[in-house]
Amino acid sequence: MVSYAADLAPMTTRPPRRVAFVDSGIGLLGYADALRALRPDLELVLALDPDHMPYGPRSPGEVRELILASAAAAAELEPVALVVACNTASVHGLEALRAELEPGLPVIGTVPAIRPAATTGGPVSIWSTAATSSSDYLRGLVDAFASEVETHSIAALGLAEAVEAVDPAEIDRAIGAALAETPADTRALVLGCTHYGLVADRISAALNSRGSEVTIFDSPVAVARQTLRRIGLEPEEAAVPTRTAPIVLLSGRRGELPERLRLYPQGARLLGGPAPGAGPRPTLAS
């Protein structure tokens, strides 16, 4: 049994409204950033699990145990909602998390945006990790939401790892390799791993370089809106921003986001201050 909660001092006063995000790695940055855009007054808890990432090669039971431990540590900080910003953890741990934490703590999962992508009429390509690309879970989503359109499942080998390592050269190599496997007539591209949204601008540039008109579908904004619905709040982008930096947990230990994450606009905004050349938040379909 993995347990992180004992590493945290108990809260002595009721905290401000805060939302917790759990993931094996930095894929949660895009989801936290999307929520902050809609409600800048909410405090954030970012619970990463660097001791055990990546989750993809692990058994469902291992993933379930690890995400329960991360969620328990985050729950000690008394959030009003918990977002599972990881597709693998959502597949294997969402049911257990809800059984453990709800109704007291709403738990919001993450799924690839296949349903809205299918409305383009296809063809739809889905980039995901090797484990997800061949999974019954992904096939079930395609059967449920995109059975009437042409779909292609692409294993974007090494992309999540390159994003986690903040390695631009390896990111571009992995994007190029995935693009080579993506049919040229693709009209919609679904980002099936939460890490991929951090490099959506690079993916878009690679698509444009081959003359493709492709709409990229990702889920951070949809998940942020669902989170607000679950806690009874409306988007309020003009709300007075919190002055509190995100609370970071690293496998249950208090920590900080590394400065190298400023390479990603989402990371730069959460760290405070602009990234080199960073513009406003990109608008992706969701």
| Active site (catalytic) residues | 86, 193
Distance from C-alpha of 161 to C-alpha of 159, rounded to nearest angstrom: 5
Q: Are 14 and 41 in contact (CB under 8 A)?
A: no
Do strands 253-255 and 151-155 pair parallel, antiparallel, or not at all (unpaired)? unpaired
199: burial class by Cβ within 10 Å (0-12, 13-18, 19+)? buried
Q: Which residues are CB-contacts of 222 (< 8 A; sequence separation ≥ 6)?
A: 113, 286
At which residue do the structure tokens 């370089």 appear? Answer: 209
If one counts every other C-beta atom within 10 angstroms of the C-beta of residue 153, the result is 19
- Cα dist. 121→17, 20, 115, 145, 282 in Å? 41, 36, 11, 12, 23
